[in-house]
Amino acid sequence: MRKPDNINRKIILGRIYETQQLSAAVVFLVPVLIAVVMLFIIPVLQVVGYSFTSFNMNTGKGSWVGLSNFKYLIEDELFWKSLRNTVCFAGLKLVFDTLLALVIALMLDTRLPLRKYLRSSFFAPVVVPMVASSLIWIWFFDPGVGPFNQILNFLGLPSLQWLYSEKTSLASILLFSIWKGVGYNVMLFLTGLQNIPDSYLEAAKVDGATSWQSLIHIKLPLLRPIMNFVVMIGIINTFKVFAEINVMTPKGGPLYSTALAVNYIYEQAFTRGKMGRGCAAAICLFIIIFILTQIQARMNASKTVDYD
Amino acid sequence: MKKIKSLKKINWAAFIILMIGSLAMIFPFAWMILSSFKTVADVYTYPPKWIPSSWKLDNYAKVFDMIPFGRYYLNSIYTSLMQTLLQLALSICGAYAIVFLDFPGRRKLVTLIRSTMFVPMVVTLVPLYLIVSKLKGVDTYAGIILPQVFSAFTIFLLVSFFTSIPKDLCDSAKLDGCGCYRILWNVVLPNAKASISTAALFAFLGHWKSYTWPLIITNKDKYRTLPIGMKYLVQESSSEYQVMMAAAVMAIVPVLIVFVLFEKQLVKSITLTGMKS
């Protein structure tokens, strides 16, 4: 027999809800919704609106200019250069960050002396503030008194100009960026590896699988969901890289060689005050990120395995 | 009969490779600390010295002469703390509603919150700046803090913590006549105390290094945070590397200490957000 209770209920769209829970939900969700509306929905709508205007930060005025901001971007060599730099930087960073992290995590997942120390040392740069660690690396890259050239010379190799040459500037920042970020992925992969039940690997061993075979047929397929996450977050994060570039090469480096999309947006909108144009560039960047994450999600939707 | 080998063999090859790798990871920190004591002469002699010739704190004093470092530091502590507190309050509200309350549109809300993860701040930077400047928020603490209080990551991190609280606890509290607010205050929060402090730590470290937003929203020294102040130190100090290192030590070492003390919790929060998506 169902006990009678004194809880008030309400029916909304054919489902029964408790009124007390409904009123609590309103109280809890109003601040969250205000934040989402103020910080995401309104700004996203506005960024689209501003991109069709000539809004200027210094005058505070702007008028409807149709597509001319986008036309400007298409014709602007620097915009294309910043996009090429971004794709190049993001692509290389994704590949290195993922593969390197995977290899490190696989090695950390074996029996090692000092294992805890090793793990921490790869993770430490992740938590450290970006700007402060950039300062260290600015010195490393100094062509005159930097330790990197000293090491190169010691090995009998020629000095490099690092941040001060068009050819090596972006690669230098990439090197810093990998040092700074690889540990994040290492942690994710390592946890994934440790979640693989030992029985799977033992069973494979009994069946005569080599460690290479168990890597290819057991570990990698089971790491797939984490791999998806790593790549997804990697795309979003590498396309918004800004701080290290802005600190290490404030003016976009030699011949604009380190300027990424975000630097271009920042320069247009806040240095030159052309906010309409900055918004147009921001939309282009957002569309690129959106398309890439969608492709990535589609590609992986069908491939995920579940051995349970 | 042969004894079953319960322990795997030590992987010496991996050990040596990882050891070299970890030295490379640690090297910048060692260089930073050693170099923060160097004199100008130490920096510019050739071949450069690795070990400073004396252990004086001159460079540290010089940081405070060159830029209002103390002010930046306090600004950073204040804004990061406030952001963390507000972010937690907001995220606890959101996560509690998502996990424990039944209301129409629950799934849609989760999708909405998740989709904000795909809109990096750089996309909304210009409109946000204009909104905040219209509300007279440029060069104010509120202007720095409020736009950074929402984080889908923190909400989902708390969601995953809250879902691990046994539902029975809440049900029996409900039978005892507890309302939603008392369940949150007397059952959920005490049970998630450790997890919430983990989330707080994670959020604080994130805010401590936040750069882009404070950069555009502050023009006056009075409101600049540490990362922005350090960017200007690079320009002011014109390659006085030893002074830059002293500033870096002061910004990094507290974080490294927190990291050593709470590494387990930090790793947990990173992996939890990773696993649940």
Q: Are residues A17 and A159 in the same domain?
A: no
Q: Is B118 touching A (CB cutoff 8 A)?
A: yes
Give me the pLDDT at residue A45, please: 95
Region of B238 (left: φ > 0; alpha: ψ -120 to 50; beta: rest) is left
Domain contains A255: yes
Residue of B118, B122, B180 for testing the chain A interface, max A β-carbons within 10 Å? B122
pLDDT along chain B (277 residues), means of 10: 55 92 94 91 78 88 90 95 96 93 90 90 92 94 95 91 86 83 88 88 90 93 92 81 92 89 83 64
Segment holding A187, helix H or strand E: helix A169-194
Residues 120-179 on A with a CB inside 8 Å of B are 120-125, 127-133, 135-140, 142, 145, 147, 150, 179
Which backbone phi and psi does A302 adopt, to 5 degrees? -85, -15
Q: What is the largest CA-CA distance in chain A?
A: 88
Cis peptide before B47 (omega within 30 of 0): yes
B248 vs A39: CB contact, 8 Å cut-off? no
Whether ipTM > 0.85 holds is: yes
> How many separate domains does chain B show?
1
Q: Are residues A159 and A97 in the same domain?
A: yes
Tokens of A18: 């408790």
For the cut 80, the answer to whether the pLDDT of residue A12 exceeds it is no
Binning pLDDT at 50, 70 and 90, where does residue A117 land?
A: very high
Q: How far is CA B47 from CA A94, A146, A149, A151, B42, in A?
A: 36, 10, 11, 11, 10
Distance (Å, rounded) from C-alpha B113 to C-alpha A33?
A: 9
Q: Are residues A241 and A297 in the same domain?
A: yes
Q: Are residues A192 and A243 in the same domain?
A: yes
Half-sphere exposure of B162 (CA within 13 A, CB side): 23
Domain contains B151: yes
Burial tier of B145 (Cβ tally within 10 Å: 0-12, 13-18, 19+)? buried
The residues facing A64 across adjacent strands are: A53
Q: Are residues A13 and A81 in the same domain?
A: no
Domain contains B191: yes
What residue in A sits closest to B97 (Cα-Cα)? A25
Q: Are residues A99 and A19 in the same domain?
A: no
Distance (Å, rounded) from C-alpha A218 to C-alpha A235?
A: 26
Name the residue with higher pLDDT: A85 or B170. Answer: A85
Give me the pLDDT at residue A146, please: 85
What residue in B sits closest to A35 (Cα-Cα)? B150
Determine the structural domain holding residue A210 and report its residue range.
70-301
Q: Are residues A46 and A140 in the same domain?
A: no
Q: Do A29 and A42 form a contact (C-beta atoms < 8 A)?
A: no
Determine the structural domain holding residue B127 and report its residue range.
70-276
Nearest Cβ partner of B18 from A108, A138, A266? A108
Give me the pLDDT at residue A305, please: 53
The count of CB pairs under 8 A between chains A and B is 279
Give me the pLDDT at residue A37, please: 95
Mean pLDDT (chain A, rounded): 89
For the cut 90, the answer to whether the pLDDT of residue A175 exceeds it is yes
Tokens of B210: 């936040």
Q: Residues, chain B, total?
A: 277
| Mean pLDDT, rounded, for A228-242 | 89
For the cut 60, the answer to whether the pLDDT of residue A94 exceeds it is yes
The CATH number of the domain holding residue A239 is: 1.10.3720.10
Domain contains A307: no
Q: Are residues A42 and A90 in the same domain?
A: no
Domain contains A61: no
Domain contains B27: no
Domain contains A1: no
Q: Do A23 and A247 form a contact (C-beta atoms < 8 A)?
A: no
pLDDT tens for residues A248-290? 988 888 888 899 999 999 999 999 999 999 999 999 999 999 9
The CATH number of the domain holding residue B141 is: 1.10.3720.10
For the cut 90, the answer to whether the pLDDT of residue A90 exceeds it is yes
pLDDT tens for residues A122-150? 999 998 999 999 999 999 998 888 888 88
Burial tier of A263 (Cβ tally within 10 Å: 0-12, 13-18, 19+)? buried
Q: Is A295 touching B (CB cutoff 8 A)?
A: no
A132 vs B252: CB contact, 8 Å cut-off? yes
Domain contains A262: yes
Q: Are residues A19 and A120 in the same domain?
A: no
Q: Do A43 and B128 form a contact (C-beta atoms < 8 A)?
A: yes
Domain contains A139: yes
For the cut 80, the answer to whether the pLDDT of residue A302 exceeds it is no
> How many separate domains does chain A show?
2
Q: How many CB atoms lie within 10 A of CB B23?
A: 11
Q: Are residues A43 and A74 in the same domain?
A: no
The residues facing A15 across adjacent strands are: A12
Domain contains B29: no
| Mean pLDDT, rounded, for A72-96 | 94
B103 vs A44: CB contact, 8 Å cut-off? no
Distance (Å, rounded) from C-alpha A140 to C-alpha B269?
A: 32
Domain contains A172: yes
Q: Are residues A111 and A260 in the same domain?
A: yes
For residue B223, give how far its alpha carbon lies from the nearest alpha carbon of chain A (Å): 17
Q: Do B252 and A124 form a contact (C-beta atoms < 8 A)?
A: no
Give me the pLDDT at residue B138, please: 93
Tokens of A288: 């690129």
Q: What is the 3-state secondary structure (H, E, C) of chain B?
A: CCCCCCCCCCCHHHHHHHHHHHHHHHHHHHHHHHHCCCCHHHHHCCCCCCCCCCCCCHHHHHHHHHCCHHHHHHHHHHHHHHHHHHHHHHHHHHHHHHHHCCCCCHHHHHHHHHHHHHCCHHHHHHHHHHHHHHCCCCCCHHHHHHHHCCCHHHHHHHHHHHHCCCHHHHHHHHHCCCCHHHHHHHHHHHHCHHHHHHHHHHHHHHHHCCCHHHHHHCCCHHHCCHHHHHHHHHHHHCCCHHHHHHHHHHHHHHHHHHHHHHHHHHHHHHHHHHHHC
pLDDT tens for residues A182-222? 999 999 999 889 888 888 888 888 888 888 888 888 889 88
Give me the pLDDT at residue B4, please: 47
Q: Is the pTM of this model over 0.90?
A: no
